[in-house]
């Protein structure tokens, strides 16, 4: 898989998402500085970097929550630079949030149904008159929502308010909500944060299934290096808003620039977050 990192150079047409020299400035602060980034179809690619490296800012630019200062952005063959989030979501990009942003006072099923927003017709007249088309759509939407909740493993909790779920299940519900629009790319912003090892393992399996069974590309931001290194097919490292390395996990973890960014010096250690002991099983 080590050639994935270079695939962008010769396989332009298979890239779902292409960012060129994408830059975001907040006043005098350059949070993301001229980053080139591509996302190939049906892969799991990761974006890592120390805290404050600009990863979430980069996600926010891709999904339209931030208007990038400079650069080019193409998604599914369309120019999405500076487009509003709902248009980008309509093209097939969805995301989860670093600090879980579920609709807490709505049930789990309704959360997933909101995720289906772009796929539902919901015409005003059909709704108002409760036409059969509207009733069918609602019923089938609920069925699909349950199917998706089964996929992430929280199908027994459909009637509960999202805010009442335990933390790990909230993360899964957020993923289900993101998948509900049948996206071609799903952006996961630190999905393993706060998860125990067992849940993290399960999450890794879930990401593989998202790629293999749904054919959906996963773009991952994560601090849990073990997860990143085992699940990713390509890793991009940001530091202070700049891309400092990109390539297969093994190459990136031995990159002196990356080691310096994480540890401050080149002492030969693998990328670690201080919580995980480096093990061979991770690679």
Between CA 103 and CA 180 the distance in angstroms is 15
- Cβ count within 10 A of residue 21: 14
Close Cβ partners of 263 (under 8 Å, ≥ 6 residues apart): 269, 272
**C-beta of 117 vs 266, nearer to another protein:** 117
Per CB under 8 A, the list member of 148, 228, 238, 252 interacting with another protein is 148
Per CB under 8 A, the list member of 33, 151, 218, 253 interacting with another protein is 151
CB of 271 to another protein, least distance (A): 16
Per CB under 8 A, the list member of 46, 181, 236, 239 interacting with another protein is 181
Region 115-144 residues binding another protein, contact defined as CB under 8 A:
115, 117-122, 124, 127-128, 130, 134, 137-144
**C-beta of 30 vs 42, nearer to another protein:** 42
Per CB under 8 A, the list member of 205, 256, 257, 269 interacting with another protein is 205
**C-beta of 25 vs 119, nearer to another protein:** 119
Region 23-42 residues binding another protein, contact defined as CB under 8 A:
40-42
Q: Is 215 in the site for another protein (CB under 8 A)?
A: yes
Name the region of 54 (left: φ>0; alpha: ψ -120 to 50; beta: rest).
left
Joined tokens for residue 101: 């942003």
Per CB under 8 A, the list member of 26, 82, 131, 150 interacting with another protein is 150
Residue 224: φ, ψ to 5°: -75, 95
Between CA 210 and CA 180 the distance in angstroms is 12
Residue 31: φ, ψ to 5°: -80, -40
């Amino acid at each position: 898989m080590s050639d994935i990192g270079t695939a962008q150079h010769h396989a332009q047409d298979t890239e779902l998402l292409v960012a060129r020299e994408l830059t975001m400035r907040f006043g005098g602060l350059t949070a993301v500085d001229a980053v080139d980034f591509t996302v190939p179809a049906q892969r799991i690619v990761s974006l890592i970097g120390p805290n404050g490296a600009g990863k979430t800012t980069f996600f926010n630019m891709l999904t339209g929550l931030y208007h990038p200062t400079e650069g080019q952005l193409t998604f599914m063959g369309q120019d999405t630079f500076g487009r509003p989030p709902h248009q980008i979501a309509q093209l097939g990009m969805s995301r989860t949030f670093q600090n879980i942003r579920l609709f807490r006072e709505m049930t789990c099923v309704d959360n997933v149904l909101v995720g289906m927003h772009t796929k539902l017709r919901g015409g005003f007249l059909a709704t108002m008159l409760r036409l059969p088309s509207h009733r069918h759509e609602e019923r089938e939407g609920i069925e699909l929502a349950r199917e998706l909740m089964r996929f992430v493993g929280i199908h027994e909790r459909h009637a509960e308010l999202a805010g009442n779920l335990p933390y790990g299940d909230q993360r899964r519900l957020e993923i289900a909500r993101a998948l509900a629009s049948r996206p071609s790319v799903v952006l996961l912003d630190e999905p393993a944060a706060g998860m125990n090892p067992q849940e993290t393992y399960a999450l890794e399996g879930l990401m593989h299934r998202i790629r293999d069974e749904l054919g959906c590309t996963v773009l991952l931001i994560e601090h849990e290096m073990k997860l990143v290194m085992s699940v990713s097919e390509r890793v991009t490292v940001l530091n202070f808003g700049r891309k400092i390395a990109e390539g297969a996990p093994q190459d990136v973890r031995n990159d002196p620039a990356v080691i310096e960014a994480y540890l401050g010096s080149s002492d030969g250690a693998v990328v670690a977050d201080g919580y995980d002991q480096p093990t061979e099983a991770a690679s």
